[in-house]
Amino acid sequence: MSDRSDRYHPHHRRTGPGAVHLAACGARRRLVGDVRRGDDIGWFHRCREEPRPTHRHRCDHLRDHDRRPLLPHQVAVRGRPRSLTYGAIALAILLTLLAGCTSKKHASTTPHAGGTLDVSIRDLGTLDPAKASGRGAILVVSQIFDSLTKIDATTGLVKPAAASKWTTSADGKTWTFTIAPAKYSNGDPVRARDFKFAFDRIAQKALKSDIAYELQPITGYAAAQVLGKAKSLAGVSAPSDGKLVIKLDRPFYELPYSLADPGFAPIPVSVYGGSTNGLKTTPVGNGPFHVVSATAESQATLARTDDYYGTKAYLDGIKFHVVTTGAGWSAFQGGQTDVTDVPADQVASGKGFDQRGFTPVWATLSFGPNLKLPKYQDLNVRIAMSLAIDRNAIASDVFKSTKDAATGLIPAGVRGYVPGACANCTFNQNRARLLLAAKFRSHPRPSISIDYLGEPTSKSVAQAIAKDLNEVGFHASLRAHTADAYTNLLNKGGQDFAELGWIQNVPSPDGFLAQQLLTGSPNNRIGFQYGRFDSDIAAARARKVETARLTAYANAEKRAFALMPIIPIVFYRNRLAVSSRVNGFTLDGAGIFDASAIWLS
pLDDT score of 108: 61
Which class for 470: exposed (0-12), middle (13-18), buried (19 or more C-beta within 10 A)?
A: middle
Question: Which residue type does 499 have?
Answer: E
DSSP structural state of residue 523: T
Candidate from 15-24, 168-177, 211-220, 248-257 with smallest mean pLDDT = 15-24
pLDDT score of 301: 98
pLDDT per residue as tens digits for the range 368-377: 999 999 999 9
The vertex-25 CA angle with 23 and 30, nearest 5°, equals: 130
pLDDT score of 367: 99
Write down the domain spans for the chain: 1-72+114-359+574-601, 363-573
Q: Is residue 447 within a helix (H) or strand (E), and if so which, with residue range?
A: strand 447-453
Residue 6 has pLDDT above 60, yes or no: no
Q: Is residue 449 within a helix (H) or strand (E), and if so which, with residue range?
A: strand 447-453
**Per CATH, the architecture of 363-573 is what?**
Roll (3.10)
CB 394 within 8 A of CB 461: yes
pLDDT per residue as tens digits for the range 104-156: 444 467 999 999 999 999 999 999 999 998 889 999 999 999 999 999 999 99
Q: What is the CATH superfamily name and number for domain 1-72+114-359+574-601?
A: Periplasmic binding protein-like II (3.40.190.10)
pLDDT score of 531: 97
Q: Which of 55-59, 63-67, 271-275, 438-442 has the highest mean pLDDT?
A: 271-275
Give the residue-averaged pLDDT of 463-483. 98
At 121, is the secondary structure helix, strand, or coil? strand
pLDDT score of 296: 80
CA distance 497 to 367: 6
pLDDT score of 584: 96
pLDDT score of 352: 58
pLDDT per residue as tens digits for the range 577-589: 999 999 999 999 9
Beta bridge mates, 319:
118, 301
Torsion of CA 276, 277, 279, 285, to 10 degrees: -50
pLDDT score of 91: 40
At 220, is the secondary structure helix, strand, or coil? coil
CA distance 492 to 421: 31
Give the residue-averaged pLDDT of 425-451. 94
Residue 257 vs residue 442, higher pLDDT: 257
pLDDT per residue as tens digits for the range 321-367: 999 989 999 999 999 999 999 998 888 766 557 789 999 999 999 99
pLDDT score of 44: 41
pLDDT score of 288: 99
Question: Which residues have a Cβ under 8 Å from the Cβ of 288 and sit 6 or more positions away?
Answer: 11, 143, 146, 304, 305, 308, 310, 311, 312, 313, 595, 596
Residue 396 has pLDDT above 50, yes or no: yes
Residue 90 has pLDDT above 50, yes or no: no
CA distance 338 to 164: 33
Give the residue-averaged pLDDT of 553-558. 98
Give the residue-averaged pLDDT of 482-507. 96
For residue 335, CA distances in Å to 32, 213, 338, 346, 355 come to 35, 42, 7, 18, 18
The vertex-236 CA angle with 231 and 241, nearest 5°, equals: 110
Residue 319 has pLDDT above 90, yes or no: yes
* Confidence band of 34 (pLDDT split at 50, 70, 90): very low
Percent of the chain with pLDDT over 90: 77
pLDDT score of 146: 99
